[in-house]
Amino acid sequence: MKLDRPIKVLVIGGGGREHALCWKLAQSPLAEAIYCTPGNGGTAKTPKVSNVNIDVMDFAQLCEFALGSAIDLVVVGPDNPLAGGIVDFLSNKGLKVFGPTKESSRLEWSKAYAKDFMSAHGIPTARYAVCNSFEMGAEIVAESPWARVVKVDGLALGKGVFVCQTDEEVLEALSHIFHKQRFGQAGEKVILEERLHGLEVSLLAFCDGRRLVPLIPSQDHKQRFSDDRGPNTGGMGAYAPAEFYGHCQADVESKVLEPIQQALEAGDLVYQGILYVGLMLTRQSCPNDNPEVPPGPYQPYVLEFNARFGDPETQAILPLMTSDLLPVLWACTEGALNKVKIEWSSLCSCCVVACAKDYPEGISSGEPIVVGALPDEVIVYHAGTKLTDGQLVTNGGRVLALTGLGSSMDLARERAYQALKAISFAGMDYRQDIGKRASHACQLG
Ligand code: AMP
Ligand code: GLY
């Protein structure tokens, strides 16, 4: 069914990604009204958008609201409701939902399953082994000097990955998971992986069950502190386009996207929504480090799949999409991606996350937020914010995401950082180097 009349949309979630989705969908002449559950202080102020205070895991109440409000399309933002089966639940009640089912989103909620999927379909990924006890993990480490990355199998808010340098660090991470049981059920199974070095790219693709259409490539900054120091987080900033992806695009298409496409065609993968492919582009180093011998070409490896839009990648990507997003999401649910246009501006974007001082361990709550005057080329997406008696206050770990736009990455970056000077809340912190890698990475080509 073609989308030929204005519709009501429900966006599920309340982070920066969902604010960006609401912001973009609200620009569509085909969006009559948008509801966001639970939303945040930013979605509350977005034209056409209303917040509805329902928890993302309360499927029964979400369903009652959607049916009662004659919602035409539900768009699911976060991973938890997907892994909990929200798409199955709402679809069974007759609602049209953008996003994969519980079984399909297993590519995200079980890293062991994702690795097996990649092995079965010949998709390049780092060597790995699976263990389910500290002892078993220690045995693998003793026999496999390549095992340097430790990942809990289940969902862990981006905190369940330990990239280690030594066996001792690997054992410490295993002890954290198995002895201290920091991750509960998600950590009952653990993947030990070879450590890869290279350039990371987040490649998101729309998927309508039959075909994949990639969005522009972007790059996240996972570590908490500048110069990639500190623990992994959900993401401290992102930029788009990640131009160095061009060095590898043909290989990614043939070695990664094509096998996924074949799996869709063969019915080995049933998938509708966004498929987020986290890639590492590695470059074989010169034999014996001989500077006379140029390094080999980039090779793509898949680090992870996510079954949803990335956060903060979405806040960097969507401002560059010139087409209407709503018909594209609709087309995904109709198996009709071939019928819609997906076009991009030639601008660059740089998104910097302003977070609580203690993030990712802690959050900020109830601190007043001041947002001064900002230029048109900067968009302020809200993540952990809420309106209390009309006052905007902090309400989470990642609080705001500022996206600067410009004709070059340097300009986009400069605008985002300049704008941060007009923003404040107690304990506000951000990385100083978001987007710096963009020009460096391009030179590596
Ligand atoms: P994941 O959730 O699997 O994408 O892992 C989170 C982050 O950990 C990635 O974005 C990388 O920065 C890092 N990482 C994951 N796997 C590896 C690997 N095999 N080698 C090096 N770094 C990795
Ligand atoms: N920024 C990484 C993610 O959304 O998983």
Token pair for 119: 């092995």
Give yes or no for residue 377 CB within 6 A of ligand 2.
no
Cis peptide leading into 241, omega within 30 of 0? yes
Q: How confident is the model at residue 291 (pLDDT cuts 50, 70, 90)?
A: low
Q: Shortest CA distance to 24 belongs to which of 40, 48, 6, 4?
A: 48
Task: Report pLDDT digits (tens) over 121-147.
Answer: 999 999 999 999 999 999 999 999 999
Confidence of residue 445 (pLDDT cuts 50, 70, 90): very low
**Does 58 have pLDDT greater than 90?**
yes
Do the first three CATH levels of 7-99 and 199-339 match, i.e. the same topology? no
Ligand in nearest proximity to the CA of 111: 1
Strand partners, 308: none
Residue 49 has pLDDT above 50, yes or no: yes
Ligand 2 pocket: which of 79, 80, 220 to mutate (most atoms within 8 A of CB): 220
Atom of ligand 1 minimally distant from the CA of 301: 19
Give the distance from CA 48 to its chain's centroid. Answer: 25
pTM for the whole structure: 0.95
Ligand 1 centroid to 302 CA: how many Å? Answer: 9
Average pLDDT over the chain, rounded to whole?
94
Helix/strand/coil for 78: coil
Say what the pLDDT of residue 1 is: 81
Contacts of 220 (CB under 8 A, 6+ apart): 200, 202, 235, 237, 238, 310, 312, 313
pLDDT per residue as tens digits for the range 66-124: 999 999 999 999 999 999 999 999 999 999 999 999 999 999 999 999 999 999 999 99
Cα three-residue angle 198-149-257, rounded to 5 degrees: 55
Dump pLDDT digits (tens) for 368-387: 999 999 999 999 999 999 99
More confident residue, 444 or 179: 179
Q: Which ligand is nearest to the CA of 236?
A: 2
Are 352 and 56 in contact, with CB atoms under 8 Å apart?
no
| pLDDT tens readout for residues 144-162 | 999 999 999 999 877 789 9
Q: Are the C-beta atoms of 431 and 351 separated by less than 8 Å? A: no
The alpha carbon of 161 and the centre of ligand 1 are apart by a number of angstroms equal to 7
User: 256, 277 in Cβ contact below 8 A?
Assistant: yes
Q: Does the beta carbon of 308 lie inside 6 Å of ligand 1?
A: no
Q: Do residues 118 and 145 lie in contact, with contact meaning Cβ atoms separated by under 8 Å?
A: no
Asked if residue 16 has its Cβ within 6 Å of ligand 2, the reply is: no
Ligand 1 midpoint to CA 163 (Å): 7
pLDDT tens-digit series, residues 430-439 = 999 999 988 6
At position 283, the amino acid (one-letter code) is R
CATH number for region 127-194: 3.30.1490.20
| Residue 79 near residue 85, CB atoms below 8 Å | no
The DSSP code for 227 is: G
Which residue in 75, 74, 81 sits closest to 108, CA to CA? 81
Span from the CA of 42 to the centroid of ligand 2 (angstroms):
20
Rounded distance, CA 208 to CA 1, Å?
Answer: 14
Is 313 near ligand 2, meaning CB less than 6 Å away? yes
Quick: pLDDT tens for 260-282.
999 999 999 999 999 999 999 99
Domain spans of the chain, in order of start: 7-99, 127-194, 199-339, 348-442
Q: What is the pLDDT of residue 348?
A: 98
Joined tokens for residue 170: 């690997």
pLDDT exceeds 50 at position 28: yes
pLDDT at 222 over 80: yes
- Which tokens is 60 given? 């029964």
CA distances from 8 to 72, 97, 105, 256, 322 (A): 5, 12, 25, 35, 21
Give pLDDT, residue 33: 98
- Which residue's alpha carbon is nearest to atom 3 within ligand 2? 310
Q: Ligand 1 in contact with 163 (CB < 6 A)?
A: yes
Ligand 2 binding pocket includes 310 (Cβ within 6 Å): yes
Polymer length of the chain: 445
What is the fold, at CATH topology level, of the domain defined by 7-99?
Rossmann fold (3.40.50)
Residues above pLDDT 90, as percent of the chain: 90
Per-residue model confidence as pLDDT tens digits over 225-257: 999 999 889 999 999 999 999 989 999 999 999
Residue 204 Cα, ligand 2 centroid: separation in angstroms? 11
For 319-342, what is each residue's pLDDT tens digit? Answer: 999 999 999 999 999 999 999 999
Instruction: Give the distance (Å) from ligand 1 centre to CA of residue 410.
Output: 26
Residue 108 near ligand 2, beta carbon < 6 Å = no
CATH code reported for the domain at 348-442: 3.90.600.10
> Is 188 in a helix, a strand, or coil?
coil
What would the two tokens of residue 29 be?
């002449």
pLDDT in tens, 168-202: 999 999 999 999 888 988 889 999 999 999 999 99
Contact (CB, 8 A) for 337 and 361: no
Question: Do the beta carbons of residue 302 and residue 277 sit within 8 Å?
Answer: yes
Structure letter (DSSP) for residue 124: -
Cα separation of 395 and 383, whole Å?
A: 8
Q: Given the CA of residue 235, which atom of ligand 2 is nearest to it?
A: 1
Cβ–ligand 1 contact at 222 (below 6 Å): yes
Q: How far is the CA of 151 from the centre of ligand 1 (A)?
A: 9
d(CA 314, CA 349): 11
Q: What is the mean pLDDT of residues 416-432?
A: 98
pLDDT over threshold 70, residue 290:
no
- Confidence check: pLDDT of 36 > 90: yes
Architecture of domain 199-339: 2-Layer Sandwich (3.30)
